[in-house]
């Protein structure tokens, strides 16, 4: 009996006391604003029957970008004491927790936004490699990239149709007026 009790105590010490949920990170970036600031949205997906309890840490690393700020959103609160941006702006740590439901987030399997990060291109970088932000949380890195929109096609066919129709009407009026403007002798 003593051996069984001893093994149970050892098992309790070896096994973690709190289980961390499996978090799947994702992100999206906006286009740069007039000041060159790109807004990145940080999302997590926590499966049903999983929970996030307490603080969770995400590491951020800039590839040719400078991180300007990180903020929590909604019920997701940034831990101000443990979150920081490195002095050079190239790396950061975002520690967050869920503020509702006594700090326990119960997974729904849906993507939920947990933060906003603002960054800009490093003005000292002149290379051709992509500029982006990489997030890590115990898994493969997730990249937030600036939204790129293709150049919109400018112009329309309608003005050309109007010009052609106008020239045709003028030509038709000229031809008709030439035929009907004959001088008759009285």
Q: Give pTM, 2 decimals.
A: 0.68
pLDDT in tens, 44-101: 999 988 888 889 999 999 999 999 999 999 999 999 999 999 999 999 999 999 999 8
Q: Is the pLDDT of residue 166 over 90?
A: no
In whole angstroms, what is the distance from residue 11 CA to residue 19 CA?
Answer: 15
Go through 58-88 and write b for each residue having 16 or more CB atoms within 10 A of its CB, e for each that does not: bebbbebbbbbebebeeebbbbeeebebeee
- Quote the DSSP letter at residue 155: -
Q: Which helix H or strand E contains 31, and what residues bound it?
A: none
């Amino acid at each position: 009996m003593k051996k069984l009790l001893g093994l149970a105590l050892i098992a309790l010490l070896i096994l973690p006391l709190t289980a961390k949920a499996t978090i799947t990170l994702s992100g999206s970036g906006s286009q740069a604003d007039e000041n060159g600031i790109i807004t990145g949205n940080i999302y997590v997906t926590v499966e049903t029957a999983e929970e996030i309890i307490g603080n969770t840490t995400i590491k951020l690393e800039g590839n040719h970008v400078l991180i300007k700020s990180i903020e929590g959103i909604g019920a997701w609160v940034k831990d101000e004491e443990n979150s920081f941006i490195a002095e050079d702006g190239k790396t950061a740590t975002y520690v967050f927790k869920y503020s509702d439901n006594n700090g326990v987030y119960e997974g729904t399997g849906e993507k939920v936004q947990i933060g906003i990060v603002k960054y800009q291109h490093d003005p000292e970088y002149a290379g051709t490699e992509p500029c982006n932000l990489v997030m890590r949380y115990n898994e493969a890195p997730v990249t937030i990239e600036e939204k790129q929109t293709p150049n919109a096609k400018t112009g329309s066919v309608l003005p050309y149709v109007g010009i052609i129709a106008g020239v045709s009407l003028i030509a038709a009026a000229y031809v008709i007026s030439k035929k009907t403007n004959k001088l008759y002798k009285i």
